[in-house]
Structure 1
Amino acid sequence: MKLYYLKGSCSTVPHIALEWIGQPYEAVEMSREAIKQADYLALNPQGSVPLLVDGDFALSQNVAILTYLDNLYPDAKIFGSKTVQDKAKATKWLAFCNADIHPIFGRIFNVPTYLQGNEELIKQYRQELAERLLRLYAIADEYLSQHQFFGEQISVADVYLYITLRWSQAIGLDYSHLHHLTAHYQRVGQNAGVQSVLKQQGLPA
C-alpha cells in the first residue's frame, strides 16, 4: 500500500491512520510540481493529494481513503470506535474539518486574482475568513468542553482538526481563547502515531 502526500497537508491524516493500523505501507512525499506531472495525473487526474494506491486500485479524497482503510482494518478503530453510531459521530466531525474548515484555508492561501495588488482589500478579505474560521472552531471547542476526542478514543477527525490548527498557527490565527481546542491540540500532538508521522515528514512536533 502506497500513500502519496504533501508535507504538512491534509494528506497527513491518512498518513497517521496508516501508522495506527500498523501494516506495511510506503509514504511517498510529493512536491506541488510533481503532482501536476503526467505520470501522477494518470493516477489522479485532479493533481492533488492524498492518493492511496493499493495494488492496482488508486483512490483519492481523504474521506474515501479513510473509509476504505477503516473497512479494511476495523480493529484499528481509526474512527475512534467500532460501533456504528460512534463512528458516525467521528465521520461528522471529519466532514466538518474537510468540508467546512479546510476550504477556508484554501481561500486564505490563494487570494483571488481580482484582489491582487490591493493590499487593503486583501487584508480585509483574510480578516473576514479568519473570523469565519474562529466561529467554526468555537463550535468544535464547545463540543470538546464535554469530550476528550471526537470518538470514544482518538480518531482521524481529531487528527484532521489538529492539522488545521497547525495551519492556523502558521498564519498567526489566535485561537488561544478557545481553551478546550488548545487542550485538544496538545492531546493529539502527544499521540505516538502523530509523533511518528511528524518525524517522518520532517515537521516540528
Structure 2
Amino acid sequence: MIALYYYPGNASLLPHMMLREIGVPFELRLVDRTQNAQKSTEYLKLNPNGRIPVLLDGDHVLFETAAIAMHLADKFPEAKLAPAYGTPERGEFYKWMVHLTNTPQAEFRSWFYPREHVMDDEAVSSVKNAAEKRLNHMFDVISQQLGGQQWLLGDQFSAADLMLLMLIRWGRGMPRPPRTIPNLGALAERVLARPAVQETLRVEGIEAPFV
C-alpha cells in the first residue's frame, strides 16, 4: 500500500503527479497546514522535520521530495519517469533532480519565508529581494540549458520536468514569473497538457492560472 501525505500545491505536488503518471493505486492523506498539522505529534513521528510530503510505501516511511520522486521512478521503471540505469541519460536525470531541489527549491524558502532567516524584521525585505534576484538567475540558467529541447533530458520526458513545473508554479507570484521566460513557459505548457497532471490539479482543487 502506498500513501502520500500532502497539502494542495505544496512540495507533495511532485510525487502526486508522479503517482498519477505511474497509474498505481495509492491513498492521499491531507496534512492540513492551515491547522499546523505538519507540526502535530502524529505527523512528526513520520517526518521529524515537520515538512510535507511523506510517502508510505508499505512499512517504509520516506520524506524529502526529491528522494520520494527518485524512489518512485526506481520502483516503477515501466512508467519511464527516469532513463535506464547506468546510462548517461540517467546521470543527467540525477543531475537535474539534485540541482532543482538544491537550488530553486531551497531558495524559495527565503522567498516565501524571509523571516526565518533574520533576527531583525527590518531585514525581511532585503532577504526577500535577494532571494528573488538569485531565483531569477537560477531560472535564467535553467532556461539556457533547456534551450529549444522539448524536455530537460532532450526527447525523454521525466520526473525532472514535473519537478520543474512545480517550481515554475511556485514562482507565479514573483515580479518576473518563471513562466515569462520563453523556454520555461513552453515546457510548463507541455507538462500541463498531460492528463495525469491535469487530474492531479483537479483532485488538489488547484485552479487556473496554474503557473
TM-score by length of 2: 0.87
Match of 1:92 in 2: 95
User: Over aligned residue pairs, what C-alpha RMSD do you find?
Assistant: 1.7
Match of 2:15 in 1: 14
1:49-198 matched pairs, under 5 angstroms: 49-79=52-82, 81-82=83-84, 84-111=87-114, 112-116=117-121, 118=122, 121-151=123-153, 152-175=155-178, 178-198=181-201
Q: Secondary structure at the match of 1:104?
A: helix
Q: Secondary structure at the match of 1:2?
A: strand
Deviation (angstroms), 1:176: 5.8
Task: Indicate yes or no: 2:206 matched with 1:203.
Answer: yes
Deviation (angstroms), 1:177: 5.5
Identity of aligned residues (%): 28
- Give me the whole-angstrom Cα distance separating, in 2, the residues matched to 1:52 and 1:98: 17
Unmatched segments (≥5 aa) in structure 2: none
Higher alpha-carbon deviation: 122-131 or 138-147: 122-131
Greater RCO, 1 or 2 (C-alpha within 8 Å, sep 6+): 1
- Give me the whole-angstrom Cα distance separating, in 1, the residues matched to 2:181 and 2:109: 23
CA distance 1:188–1:176, shift in 2 (3 Å):
closer
- Give me the whole-angstrom Cα distance separating, in 1, the residues matched to 2:107 and 2:138: 10
CA contact (8 A) 1:144 1:184 kept: no
CA contact (8 A) 2:168 2:177 kept: no
How many residues align structurally?
A: 201
TM-score by length of 1: 0.90
Deviations 1:12-40 (A, max 9, x none): 10111111111100111212211111111
Unmatched segments (≥5 aa) in structure 1: none
Deviations 1:39-81 (A, max 9, x none): 11112222112111012111111222122212221111112x3
CA distance 1:23–1:174, shift in 2 (3 Å):
closer
- Give me the whole-angstrom Cα distance separating, in 1, the residues matched to 2:100 and 2:124: 24
- Give me the whole-angstrom Cα distance separating, in 2, the residues matched to 1:86 and 1:137: 22
CA contact (8 A) 2:118 2:124 kept: no
